[in-house]
Amino acid sequence: VFYEVSGTNDDVDDDDRYYVNTAMGDALRDDHPYTVKYWIQYHMDALAPALFQLYGALRDDDVIPFSVAHNYAPTAHAVWEFLRDHPHLAATFDKAMNSIDA
């Protein structure tokens, strides 16, 4: 995502080396036309905790990782209830959905 560059850069104190985005890393920027920034933010904040519950889900068919991780009833609506109760993540989710170009 980043690579090291030797030389000088007016934006950094260390003139010996600095890092710049690769084409893939550019997609993490807000101003990139195909930004994935909001998807990554949403997944890290909302979905990553559920990954720690996967083992329980493999052992017990009644365990729904997202519901266990966020303490919601195991229903099909748990994600929407979670977003209702966490407006900052709902806003990130909305930005992520709006960043999709059909």
* Per-residue pLDDT band at 96 (split at 50, 70, 90): very high
What's the confidence (pLDDT) of residue 54? 86
Residue 102 has pLDDT above 70, yes or no: no
Q: What is the pLDDT of residues 1-60, one digit of tens each?
A: 666 665 555 665 655 667 777 888 888 888 888 889 999 999 999 989 988 888 888 898
Q: Using an 8 Å Cβ cutoff, are 50 and 66 in contact?
A: yes
Joined together, the tokens standing for residue 12 give 């950094």
Around 71, how many Cα atoms within 13 Å sit in the side-chain half-sphere? 1
- Please determine, for residue 93, whether its predicted confidence score (pLDDT) is greater than 90: yes
Q: Chain-centre distance of CA 44, in angstroms?
A: 4
pLDDT of residue 14: 57
Q: What's the confidence (pLDDT) of residue 40?
A: 93
Those residues with Cβ within 8 angstroms of residue 66's Cβ, 6 or more apart along the chain or in another chain: 47, 50, 53, 72, 78, 79, 82
